[in-house]
């Protein structure tokens, strides 16, 4: 599980924000953004979703997008 880990996106990525129970909107998260995994995935499977926090927005994105378009930030990273 990736909860609490941070990633820096290396490519622009789409995510989904839930406005309310019935409305969801696509959100463009630009390359260079730092996101924190809030929840998931429980199992690393194709099409698994993760809940992330970016710029105080709670978003959902595909785990594969995080893998392919992000680099994990470790506590030893200085940038």
In the chain, how many domains are there?
1
Is 18 part of any domain?
yes
Express each pLDDT in 6-39 by its tens digit.
999 999 999 999 988 899 999 999 999 999 999 8
Q: Residue 46: inside a domain, yes or no?
A: yes
- Give the domain extent around 25: 6-73
Q: No. of H helices and E strands in the chain?
A: 1, 7
Q: Could you tell me if residue 1 is inside a domain?
A: no
Q: For residue range 34-60, what is the model confidence (pLDDT) as tens digits?
A: 999 998 876 666 568 899 999 999 999
Of 4-8, 23-27, 62-66, 68-72, the least confident: 62-66
Specify the pLDDT at position 3: 86
Q: What is the CATH number of the domain that holds 46?
A: 2.30.30
Output the CA–CA distances (angstroms, integers) from residue 65 to 11, 20, 21, 38, 41, in the order listed: 9, 24, 24, 16, 12
Whole-angstrom Cα distance, residue 40 to residue 2? 6
Is the residue at 33 inside a domain? Answer: yes
- Residue 48, pLDDT score: 85
Is residue 61, in this structure, part of any structural domain at all? yes
């Amino acid at each position: 599980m990736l909860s609490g880990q941070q990633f820096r996106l290396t490519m622009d990525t789409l995510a989904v924000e839930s406005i309310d129970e019935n409305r969801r909107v696509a959100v463009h998260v630009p390359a260079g953004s730092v996101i924190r995994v809030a929840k998931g995935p429980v199992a690393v499977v194709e099409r698994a979703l993760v809940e992330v926090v970016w710029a105080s927005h709670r978003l959902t994105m595909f785990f594969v997008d995080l893998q392919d378009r992000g680099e994990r930030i470790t506590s030893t990273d200085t940038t």
